[in-house]
Amino acid sequence: MYYCGLNRISMSYDIAGLRTDYKNRKLNRKDVGSDPALFFSRWLQEAIDNNLPDPNAMILSTCSQEGMPSSRVVLLKGIESGKFIFYTNYHSNKGRQLSENPHAALTFFWPQLERQVNVEGTVEKTDELTSDAYFQSRPRKSQLGAWASNQSEEISSRNELKKKFLGYAMKFVGKKVDRPPHWGGFALTPSRIEFWQGRPSRLHDRIVFIRQDDQSWRIARLSP
C-alpha cells in the first residue's frame, strides 16, 4: 500500500482566473420538445457528428448506504425505452453501491458544444439476455479482462493482473468467452433530466424535465 503526504502545490498560473465565456449556442423551450430521451439523443448525435472524444462518456455518481458519495467516468451503451444503459462488474464499488442504494446520477459534459446534461433516477439490473448480447459484442480481450479483473479490489502488482488475464486466455482458447455471472448491465430510469447550454455572462440556459408519472413530464426553465 502506498501513502503520500498532502502539501500545498505552487503553480505558475491562476486557477481562480480560468474561465470561458460561452457564446456559441442557445437553448429555447421549443427546442426540447416533450420527450427528454429523444432530445438527449439529438444532443448525443451532435457530439458524435462533431467527432468529440468519447461522446458517450458520463460521470456516474452513486452513494453508499451510509450516504458517502462516489463518482467515476463510465460509458453509456444504449438508451432503451427512455432508460440509460451501462455495464460493469457487479462486485465493483459502483456495483455494490447500486445494489445497496439504487439511486444514481449521470452527468454528460461536451465542452466543445458548451453543453451539459444531468440525469437523476433509479437503477435496476438489465435482464441476462441483454447483458449476454452486449458482452458478446465486446472485443475478445475486453471479455477476458472482465474475467481477470476483480474490479475495485486491491492487487499486489500489475503482474498479478497480467497472469490472471493470461490464465483466462488459455482457459478459453478456441472457445467462446461466456459472460461472467458477476458482470452485466444496469438501466437507469430517469426521474429528472436537466439540459444546460452555456451562454454569455454566466446567464446559462437550463431546462429541466421532472417526471410526473410513467407518461408525462413537467418542463421548466431554471435560473442559471
pTM: 0.89
Which H/E stretch holds residue 72? strand 69-75
The pLDDT value recorded for residue 164 is 95
Give the pLDDT confidence of 96-135 residue by residue, as tens digits. Answer: 999 999 999 999 999 999 999 999 999 999 999 999 999 9
Closest CA to 79 of 184, 183, 189: 189
Q: Provide φ and ψ at 138, rounded to 5°.
A: -75, 155
Query: Other C-beta atoms within 10 Å of 49: how many?
Result: 9
| Confidence check: pLDDT of 5 > 60 | no
Average pLDDT over residues 17-29: 86
The DSSP secondary-structure symbol of 220 reads E
Active-site residue identified among 202, 211, 218, 221: 202
* Residue 62 resides in a domain: yes
| Confidence check: pLDDT of 185 > 80 | yes
* Residue 114 resides in a domain: yes
Active site residue 202: yes
Number of domains in the chain: 1
Nine cell digits for residue 175? 472457445
CATH number at residue 41: 2.30.110.10
Q: Give bridge partners of residue 57 from the DSSP assignment.
A: 75
Average pLDDT over residues 193-197: 98
Give me the helices (H) in the chain, please. Answer: 29-32, 36-49, 93-100, 128-137, 140-148, 158-171
Domain around 79: 21-151+161-166+181-222
The pLDDT value recorded for residue 2 is 46
